[in-house]
Structure 1
């Protein structure tokens, strides 16, 4: 974004301002009309796909009893997170990204930034919980039904939501993330940026992305190692299996397929969010040189993750695919 020098009298002649009637207003981002249309079309499409796709997941799991399982209840909560992102965060981010202005006031800016951080951290904690669930299902199958119950999963989900809420709102509302950066966080009227100092850029990224991501990767490496071992054993016993053993092997195959699908969900999440979090960590050490448009582009690329999850379920889960077809048609 081009930097514009303003004199003390607030002479803004020839400029478009976020709030023309207020002295000290931020300048609006000047874009060609065709660029604005393309940006609005892309962001609105992404938002609608996020809301509609995750609503399908929520309705499917809630309505069809064959989808009621501890794993799917975690997916239900994850879909609720993504749907909330599409309803409560992305529409306001869309206007800010296109116009370069925040029209809803300083207080709602803090709420919006807190929700954005909260829903992001809640997503990855849900994916971490899914990884633990798959680990128990594949690596400890005999103990899975006793250790992973609907009640326990519900308790874990509630804890995740509470931790994410306290962590995100606590950081943003107390301005811990921007201590020492007051001149950057309040440059003009109509600005709403979530900016982190060096300490909290590292802490927030470690807590909400890098540490859970490493845990998930380690769990899935263990899962696939065990799955390959089980596959070799199954191939050796294939000629002598009984009906009951065949049924158990079919269940194990289904569990492994579910683990592979959910691993894909994790991989897509990491691809989508990694550039954003790397920027959050690195940018304070570069004196915040990342252009606003680049930061917005990385943020929307991360938002696209919320579109991908329902698509993955539709392509790789037969039960979800059938449920989607029934609901749509």
Structure 2
């Protein structure tokens, strides 16, 4: 096959079929291998989190467990319901599942991705309270408070998806090809109302996350200096210092990964309407997969860094593979 990309039609028998980009066989198979790996890691990683919390932890014990469990459920749903069809669309550059499923898929995609953003935001608030108000944490972050945060995360995403896709059809996500050909389903998120989308699901969460973790970082640095200056400091401060130092260690990973994964697609959603929706759909699709990667990374960032989780996984693996 020619090493250059070639063009075809999504439906060869239809005159109004959308064009299809045909990749060389090696590249085509490589894409499927890469995206399948992402899907498997996303589903398995989040399922592992759910399994560990439900079987080895009391999911109702802390609000943190509530939020991690809910975040992982959203991750499994994204990996199982959204990514497989997105993979086919991205690689085949066609949508073979019908217009109704296109709208359903887009709605589910928007709802699940946006709820993960707000889950991550509320988790940062939870960590802030645990570190800065350890004595009052249990009173501040009750199960009721945790459930309110989870409900808010899902409600914001559900209402937003409903308004865009169902109750306001004139702003449905459509590509230029979608309007005149069969086999198209734009992968971009809410291109027609980029400013509102950007503010609610990126600007506000990013401001909260950066503010929270920045304060944790500076306080942790201050405590670290105290430890170095007074090696024989009072023991009661040790637990707080340990938490601060751990928060400092993971700060760059937490904030950096979130910004790396989500900034490109939200920047596109912000500027695309301002430049007449001229951003290439392939570029949009690539940035959307960057955002999907955050769902795959979430178990590593927000759970694998917890010592209790690592210990539990080791115990589980020992029971499964070493004790027969």
TM-score by length of 2: 0.85
For 2:251 and 2:108, how far apart are their aligned partners in 1? 25
CA drift at 1:196: 6.6
For 1:293 and 1:137, how far apart are their aligned partners in 2? 42
> Given the alignment of the two structures, is residue 294 of structure 1 paired with residue 283 of structure 2, yes or no?
yes
For 1:129 and 1:65, how far apart are their aligned partners in 2? 21
CA drift at 1:305: 1.3
Is contact 1:124-1:208 (8 Å) kept? yes
Is contact 1:46-1:304 (8 Å) kept? yes
> Given the alignment of the two structures, is residue 249 of structure 1 paired with residue 218 of structure 2, yes or no?
no
1:29 aligned counterpart, secondary structure: strand
Q: For structure 1, which runs of at least 5 residues remain unmatched after alignment?
A: 1-13
For 1:203 and 1:85, how far apart are their aligned partners in 2? 23
Q: How many residues align?
A: 311
Deviation string 1:139-178 (CA, Å, 9 cap, x unpaired) is 2233211010123202321232122111123212223534
Find the counterpart in structure 2 of residue 226 from structure 1: 219
Deviation string 1:231-286 (CA, Å, 9 cap, x unpaired) is 445556652535xx2xx522552365257536633431111111111122222333
CA RMSD after TM alignment: 2.7
Q: For structure 2, which runs of at least 5 residues remain unmatched after alignment?
A: 1-5
For 1:197 and 1:48, how far apart are their aligned partners in 2? 27
Find the counterpart in structure 1 of residue 296 from structure 2: 307
Find the counterpart in structure 2 of residue 265 from structure 1: 254
Is contact 1:197-1:284 (8 Å) kept? no
Is contact 1:36-1:98 (8 Å) kept? yes
Where relative contact order (Cα < 8 A, 6+ residues apart) is larger, the structure is 1
Q: Which of these residues, 44, 49, 56, is aligned with residue 48 of structure 2?
A: 56
Is contact 1:201-1:280 (8 Å) kept? yes
Find the counterpart in structure 2 of residue 6 from structure 1: none
Q: Which of these residues, 154, 163, 167, is aligned with residue 170 of structure 1?
A: 163
Q: Which of these residues, 312, 315, 319, is aligned with residue 308 of structure 2?
A: 319
Q: Which of these residues, 28, 39, 42, is aligned with residue 36 of structure 1?
A: 28
Equivalences for residues 1-329 of structure 1 within 5 A: 16-65=8-57, 68-173=61-166, 174-175=168-169, 177-178=171-172, 185-195=178-188, 200-233=193-226, 238-239=231-232, 241=234, 245=236, 249-250=238-239, 252-254=241-243, 257-258=246-247, 260-261=249-250, 264-312=253-301, 316-328=305-317, 329=321
Q: Which deviates more, 284-293 or 145-154?
A: 284-293
CA drift at 1:42: 0.4
Deviation string 1:277-328 (CA, Å, 9 cap, x unpaired) is 1122222333333333222221112211122122335753322122223334
Q: Which deviates more, 40-49 or 308-317?
A: 308-317
